[in-house]
Amino acid sequence: MNAQAQDQLIGSAVKYFIGGICILNIDSKTRQIRPEYLNEGFFRMMGGTEKQVRTMMQDIRLSVIPDDLPLLEQGIDDILADNGSAECEFRIVGVDGNLMWLKLRGNLYSREGARNLISAVILDCTEQKMIEAELKRQSDFMHLLMDTDITFDFNCRTDVCIYRINETEELSHDAVVKGYLEQIPASGIHPEDIPGYQEMLDSAMRHAHRDSMEFRSRGIINPRSEYRWFKVQIASVLGQEGYVSHIIGHITDIHEEKLKELELKLRADRDSLTGLMNKAATRDLIEKILTGYQDGELLGALLMLDVDNFKHVNDGYGHAVGDKVLSKIGGILNDNFKGMDVTGRVGGDEFMVFMHNIRTPKDACSLAEKVENLVIHGFPGEPADGEVSLSIGIAVTPDHGKTFEELYQNADKALYHIKEHGKAGVKLYEEGLTKG
């Protein structure tokens, strides 16, 4: 075969090669990529006419998915470095509007100033990427199946969730939940944990990432009477279009471990002398309870209590007597405030109580007076007998404030009023009271 015939044969093979064979002109200053040569196989691969494809290739960056532009740029830089062939993969919107994965492999052919010619082969690797993504999804899913109680695969497009419940090492069964997102409020998850659970799923559907949370439930599949603690770990899976198509994850029963953790936290939140909550825990719990008072239908009362003459008792009779006084008062508060009432020691000789869902402000005043009387007569035959009393200021929500700060300031003003007028008494906040 002579040289002319060989050139014709090579030219024919290149022309009809199923894939893109290109000579690309790259301006190293403007970064513009302009085709000098495109074979017919490239037009067929892109699914358009020669005119359509050439128009698209005049500014290929407009067709590349923005997230993948850095991949293309790095691939071009690697080729221009002239260290041999280099390749990159990126997604592009084809002529027909569908998403394609392309693999570009090229070499620097010539360079003249800012003008660089590269010879490249561009192949459609969309199917390969789809297979890789599916294999990864299955691999992730199988990994999550190991050593877990419940695994699930949520299809974001069909809103169907498939649970696999591993009852024993040998026995498992699947459960299919259709309309999964709509059924979450009635799924048995604790009402306080539903918003966080839904937000976790919403976030995972918006962009690919991993997340986890702890929640209480009466049963993921099989309902039970009591709530148990579970931990869910999830991972988003991207479909071929680059968007999240599935969320896979596993759910583990952590009830016993969580109870131990809560017990340790409870100990940390408690004042060791009185058994009441410490200042930080008291405020935190009252603020959480107040979120349920926003509609103004419930009445609650914040009580600020200060031990009268405590410094005199503590300094005069010793710290052991002072500690016994504080411990006794803590016991009185624990015995008289129950349910969702909050009792805490918030200072050396200062206490705070929040009375939940009272009928009238008078109820708070009556119970405060009872506690005051119990403290006054709580140390018969002891050094503190006749020495200790309480000054108590009260603010009621919503009349005297809706936030913790508002209630605290007004209850403190009422307490100050008692201190300024002889101590040992109870005062409900009223307009015009000031402190100092």
**How is residue 325 written in tokens?**
């006084």
Q: Output the pLDDT for position 143.
A: 54
d(CA 291, CA 289): 5
d(CA 370, CA 80): 87
d(CA 161, CA 156): 9
* DSSP annotation of 189: B
Enumerate the domain spans of the chain.
3-124, 129-254, 270-428
Give pTM, 2 decimals.
0.48
Q: Output the pLDDT for position 317.
A: 93
β-bridge partners, 150: 165, 251
- 3-124 against 129-254: fold identical: yes
CA 198 → CA 51, 150, 209, 233, 245, distances in Å?
48, 18, 15, 14, 17
The domain defined by 270-428 folds into Alpha-Beta Plaits (3.30.70)
Q: Output the pLDDT for position 426.
A: 95
Q: Write down the residue that tokens 């015939």 correspond to.
A: 5
Q: Output the pLDDT for position 7.
A: 43
* DSSP annotation of 277: B
Q: Output the pLDDT for position 61.
A: 78
d(CA 98, CA 277): 61
Indicate the SS3 state at residue 58.
coil
The DSSP element (H or E) to which 417 belongs, if any, is: helix 404-420
Q: Output the pLDDT for position 10.
A: 45
Indicate the SS3 state at residue 18.
coil
d(CA 219, CA 190): 10
d(CA 70, CA 86): 15
Burial category of 267 from C-beta neighbours within 10 Å (exposed 0-12, middle 13-18, buried 19 and up)? exposed
Cβ neighbour number for residue 71 with a 10 Å cutoff: 16
CA 89 → CA 71, 100, 107, 129, 180, distances in Å?
7, 10, 15, 10, 36
Q: Output the pLDDT for position 360.
A: 94
Q: Write down the residue that tokens 């060791």 correspond to.
A: 272
Look up the CATH number of domain 3-124: 3.30.450.20
Task: Return per-residue pLDDT of the chain as tens, 436 residues.
Answer: 444 444 454 455 556 566 788 888 888 888 888 888 888 888 888 888 888 888 888 877 788 888 888 998 899 899 898 888 889 999 988 887 788 899 999 999 899 988 999 889 888 888 888 777 766 666 565 554 444 468 889 999 899 998 887 654 444 567 888 999 998 988 889 998 999 999 999 999 998 888 999 999 987 656 666 888 899 999 998 887 778 999 998 888 888 888 888 777 766 788 889 989 999 889 988 998 898 887 778 899 999 999 999 999 999 999 999 999 999 999 999 999 988 899 999 999 999 999 999 999 999 999 999 999 999 999 999 999 999 999 999 999 999 999 999 999 999 999 999 999 889 999 999 988 887 6
Q: For domain 129-254, which architecture applies?
A: 2-Layer Sandwich (3.30)
